[in-house]
Structure 1
Amino acid sequence: MAVNAVLKQRMADLGLTQEELANRMNAALLEITGRPGDVSDRTVRNLVNGTTRRPIGRTRRALEAVFHCPLKDLGFAVPAERSEGPVERRHFITASTALALAPNSGSPRRVGTSDVERLQRRFAEVIANDHRHGGRLAIERTAVVLADEALVLQGSGSAGQRVRKQIYASAAAFRSSAMWAAVDGRRFDDAAAHMQVAVQLAEMAGDPYIKFRIWSHAGTMYRHMGRPADAAAANDVARKLGITRQDPMFASLGLARQGAIHGAAGDGAAARRAFDQSQDAMQRADPAAARPVWMNAFYDQAELDSLALCAYLSLGDFERAEAHGHRCLSALRPHMQRSKAIATTRVARAQLEQGALETAVARAMSVPGEAANRHPRVVGMLRAFGRRLEVIAPGSAAARTWATYIRDTWRSYA
């Protein structure tokens, strides 16, 4: 049994340990096949020590994607070729190009903290764009491209273990943003696919903050899909991470989202208890503590009240919902344009259910046109508002005003 000296040297050229190569191969398989890889340290050890001389199937595809070369150039005996269909071949070529990990010639460059900082700046841009627009397919696609760029960076040169993990964390963060954009845009199948990739990348990174974001988003995704039991289970994964004990602000967010899930499930007592606990945790949190950019960008008192507004609206407690809605709108930061449109629409619905027809219609018509016409979640809520208005007060002056608004301003979505 002879050691595969070629593979060993290629790993040394990239500064890869056996564990790091296994992680890279799993990431490649996730991109190529859409399914998590199961390559272990032992798999790589067998490849290096010569126990495995003819890797086939998923192992072969992962190796060729990671090193960006045919199997024979890695010191292996090449198994008999099989034909591949054009779609499969195109998929593999695209994925292996995106995950190219080594230049064709010369010494690999050093990947360092400046590269990580550049990724983090791009992530901040994605976050800002999401808060302005939300739910756009363009945001989702941009986040996916940036996640792929982060994985390409993994292979563009040598790097220390800390930098490697930070790059995986960046890739997971971008994928979690793609997931959220898909949730916000009501593209739930796409959101679930992004979640699968994000979870595995986060595990490779070992970053509890991005794990919290992914699983917390998953809870929201399932809540919007009408699956409160799955929502609670996913949100519990986030809430059980150690950072919720270290920083009460994360505990507050987990509890607030749990309150919204209880509201969707119709459990008013549990919702009220969760929001009380969330408020208490927020008051105990240190406002100056260091937190990820995505957390600082959105979670505050306004977001807690927004989640309470959603929960109490689901529970039919419209007076309490409206009160939280006004608190939310008064505290929202200027960049939270998507959140403002959603909260405004929900307040209008709470007012409508209390019989304040003219006030409710005026509030609904105040939603900015871009959100009213282009944000899938807001569009759906405004449609539901109009249907409910026709049930409560058919033929009323308020209903006629709304109909005119729909016809003249919102015609393409009526």
Structure 2
Amino acid sequence: MDENRRLADSLTEAGLTQVELGELVNEHLRKRGREGTVGDRTVRNWLSGRTRWPHPRQREALEAVFDRTAEELGFVPPTSRRSPTRTEDSVHRRNFLTAATGTAAVVSLVATRPYAVGTTDVIRLRSGLDGLTALDASRGGHEALERAALTGAAEALELQKRSASQRVRLRLYGLAAEYTAAAAWSAVDARQRDRARNHLNRALHLAGLGAAAEAEIRVWNSHAMLARQGQHFAEAVHAAQAAQATRAARRDPLFASLAHARTAIGHAASGDRQAALRSLGYAEEALTNAAVDSRRPAWVTFYGPAELLAITSYVRDDIGDAAGAEAASHRALAALPQEFRRNRALATLQLALTQLHQRDVDQACATADQVFTLMRGNTLPGRMRSCLGDFIRDLTTLAPGSSTAREWEDRYRSEWSRAR
């Protein structure tokens, strides 16, 4: 028999486990006055292909969960007849962002219903996080995104006031932690450090209530970045080491790699060359052991070989190896996905800095020009503005009075005012 790959792919896309799918199908059946008896074995039979055409009520529930027909989910009817028309009350995922303006806008994630909070509510809330992550990857942190994330956290905590199983309550706390961590990250990227620190402390508390290991490592990762921004280098190292100690890092080499990479940045900033290179080595080794197809939260999709190369450039530049940093930046830009526009702009700016630190002024200015092109149409995040400030200061120091430097300074001022 052939495995049902379409159903498996739909399960992965929705971020559901087999147990959660069974719960959602049973919930749908109970809402219609039917007995919900779908368990692990039934779901395994669907996935393995042993059950090629589920019972009509189960098919209706599956179509409602995924908003797809049974055939689109990989099921095969016993005859050539078409599957029943999709039910009108299919569960539609709610969009957390308004596409018309490109600005994060909060929509009501929870309908008023008489029954207890269940897995459906958790899935709806979780889908909102994916939308925020996509917006952040494109244009970076900004206040509208931060507000939307905080509203998502409030929605999750509001659901705690209604009846729910202990498992659902833990997941709601975890979601509140992730939304709050998303708000914190937006503030970090916008260089709003006081707000970021408050959000991170709140997120860490919520992650503890929800036993949410992946939210916890996200908080420590952002804490390390925040400390680096404030030039508290020892604190940056300690926060990254706290990330290494989380359950998520112990369980998944990809998270461990991210934590070691963040540690390397802290060591490099504090001038500890050997410790920085050692941590980079640990990050590279861990990443080679990370499973490519493991299911992880959307926020960490930015991290992989390309991002580690970008971090390597920062580290090598800080320890005085500008040539090695430039090589790492070129490799990072060749590998970074196009949709990570903000990250590509930051990697491009880092490349310009490595060229400038090698006294290649003309090339550095030409490279830095690309940042404005990449971010055209969006306000530059505070973190990017700060990096541009580093570039202009180094340019003024290393090439005072040169015509190229003067021309770029004029371009910089013009683009800066236009990008505000």
Normalising by structure 1, report the TM-score: 0.71
1:236 to 238, 241, 259: 241
Provide the secondary structure at the position in 1 that maps to 2:371.
coil
Alpha-carbon offset, residue 330 of structure 1: 0.8
CA contact (8 A) 1:119 1:150 kept: yes
Provide the secondary structure at the position in 2 that maps to 1:316.
coil
**Alignment identity in percent?**
36
Paired residue type of 1:366: Q
Deviations 1:110-155 (A, max 9, x none): 1111100001100111111111111211111111111111111222
Alpha-carbon offset, residue 242 of structure 1: 2.8
2:156 maps to 1:150? yes
2:191 to 181, 186, 193: 186
2:215 maps to 1:203? no
Alpha-carbon offset, residue 108 of structure 1: 5.0
1:409 to 390, 412, 415: 415
CA contact (8 A) 1:379 1:413 kept: no
Paired residue type of 1:254: A
In structure 1, runs of 5+ residues without a counterpart are: 1-102
2:131 to 122, 125, 134: 125
Alpha-carbon offset, residue 407 of structure 1: 4.5
Paired residue type of 2:270: A
What is aligned with 2:273? 268
CA contact (8 A) 2:329 2:350 kept: yes
Partners of 1:144 and 1:217 in 2: how far apart? Answer: 16
Partners of 1:234 and 1:336 in 2: how far apart? Answer: 25
1:363 to 360, 367, 370: 367
Q: Number of paired residues? A: 308
Alpha-carbon offset, residue 315 of structure 1: 2.1
Alpha-carbon offset, residue 413 of structure 1: 7.5
What is aligned with 1:79? none
1:46-65 matches, within 5 Å, as none
Provide the secondary structure at the position in 1 that maps to 2:246.
coil
Paired residue type of 1:200: H
Which stretch of the first structure deviates more once superposed, 354-363 or 107-116?
Answer: 107-116
1:109 to 94, 104, 115: 115
Query: Which of the pair has the greater relative contact order for Cα pairs under 8 Å at 6+ separation?
Result: 1
Provide the secondary structure at the position in 1 that maps to 2:292.
coil
2:311 maps to 1:307? yes
Provide the secondary structure at the position in 1 that maps to 2:223.
helix
Normalising by structure 2, report the TM-score: 0.70
What is aligned with 2:323? 319
Alpha-carbon offset, residue 310 of structure 1: 1.6
CA contact (8 A) 2:141 2:190 kept: yes
Provide the secondary structure at the position in 2 that maps to 1:333.
coil
2:383 maps to 1:381? no
2:334 maps to 1:334? no
Partners of 2:417 and 2:146 in 1: how far apart? Answer: 27
Alpha-carbon offset, residue 246 of structure 1: 2.3
For the structure 1 residues 323 and 117, does the alpha-carbon distance in structure 2 shift closer, same or farther, using more than 3 Å as the test? same
2:350 maps to 1:346? yes
In structure 2, runs of 5+ residues without a counterpart are: 1-111
Partners of 1:412 and 1:357 in 2: how far apart? Answer: 24
For the structure 1 residues 168 and 110, does the alpha-carbon distance in structure 2 shift closer, same or farther, using more than 3 Å as the test? same
Partners of 2:400 and 2:319 in 1: how far apart? Answer: 24
Deviations 1:140-188 (A, max 9, x none): 1111111111111222x31111111111111000000111111111111
Paired residue type of 2:132: V
What is aligned with 1:217? 222
Partners of 1:408 and 1:346 in 2: how far apart? Answer: 21
